């Protein structure tokens, strides 16, 4: 059973786990994703407990942050086992976590409404004002340049806009996710236009 005690424990776990993160994958990101995923779950009629727990644990085995545990979702599995989450709920949580990743899943349809809610919430946090801020925080933490006007450096932060961020609006899986993405995508695109105009001295 996933009760409030388990969710509270998961929140405490991620607050401690990500305490020193400055890449945009901190505990605040996780909590934003959880809150938004819960909102989407209510709109979609999904299992809110599964959605909230998957959202809370979705980054603890992220390959960028914890490459040694990513394949088996070891940290998430350990948490679920230690807190007595039943097999059915545990598998639903783990499935949702596995289906979040953009690099692994792209636009492939999630296998459950719970997975769709968590994935949309995570991707929504990658666009809009906070998404832009997170992109530059991640780039700075990995010594990436802001921009390459020649387009030869595929690792700059502005290249990431084209590789991922500008694609996310059209990959939303839930009705509410699509509505929210419209506004956040517009903010992201307007920022990039302004950035490039200022870079070129046009404004």
Distance CA 161, CA 195 (A): 12
Q: What is the pTM of this model?
A: 0.95
pLDDT score at 95: 98
- pLDDT tens-digit profile, the chain (203 residues): 899 999 999 999 999 999 999 999 999 999 999 999 999 999 999 999 999 999 999 999 999 889 999 999 999 999 999 999 999 999 999 999 999 999 888 889 999 999 999 999 999 999 999 999 999 999 999 999 999 999 999 999 999 999 999 999 999 999 999 999 999 999 999 999 999 999 999 88
Residue 100, token pair as written in the block: 């979040």
Evaluate whether 184 touches 131 at the Cβ level (below 8 Å). yes
What are the two backbone dihedrals, phi and then psi, of residue 131, each rounded to the nearest 5 degrees? -60, -40
pLDDT at 106: 82
pLDDT score for 103:
85
pLDDT at residue number 20: 93
Q: What is the pLDDT of residue 99?
A: 97
Structural tokens at position 22: 């400055």
User: Per-residue pLDDT tens for 132-162?
Assistant: 999 999 999 999 999 999 999 999 999 999 9
The number of CA neighbours under 13 Å toward the Cβ of 99 is 25
Q: What are the boundaries of each domain within the chain?
A: 4-199
DSSP labels, 17-69: HTTT--SS-SHHHHHHHHHHHHHHHHHHT--HHHHHHHHHHTTTT-TTT-TTT
Please name the helix (run of DSSP H) or strand (run of DSSP E) that holds residue 15, with its range, or none.
helix 4-17
Could you tell me which residues come within 8 angstroms of residue 136 by beta carbon, excluding any fewer than 6 positions away? Answer: 146, 157
Class of domain 4-199: mainly alpha
Overall residue count recorded for the chain in this entry: 203
pLDDT at site 107: 86
């Amino acid at each position: 059973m996933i009760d409030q005690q388990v969710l509270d424990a998961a929140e405490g776990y991620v607050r401690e786990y990500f305490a020193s993160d400055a890449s945009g994958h901190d505990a605040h990101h996780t909590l934003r994703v959880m809150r938004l995923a819960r909102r989407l779950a209510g709109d979609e009629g999904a299992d809110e407990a599964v959605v909230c727990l998957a959202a809370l644990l979705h980054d603890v085995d992220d390959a960028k942050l914890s490459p040694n545990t990513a394949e088996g979702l070891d940290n998430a599995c350990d948490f679920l086992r230690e807190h007595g989450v039943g097999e059915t709920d545990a598998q639903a949580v783990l499935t949702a976590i596995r289906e979040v990743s953009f690099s692994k899943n792209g636009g492939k349809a999630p296998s459950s409404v719970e997975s769709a809610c968590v994935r949309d919430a995570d991707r929504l946090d990658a666009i809009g004002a906070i998404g832009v801020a997170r992109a530059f925080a991640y780039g700075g933490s990995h010594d990436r340049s802001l921009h390459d006007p020649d387009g030869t450096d595929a690792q700059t932060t502005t290249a990431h806009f084209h590789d991922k961020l500008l694609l996310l609006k059209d990959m939303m899986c839930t009705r509410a996710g699509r509505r929210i993405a419209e506004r956040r995508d517009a903010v992201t695109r307007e920022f990039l236009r302004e950035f490039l105009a200022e870079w070129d001295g046009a404004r």
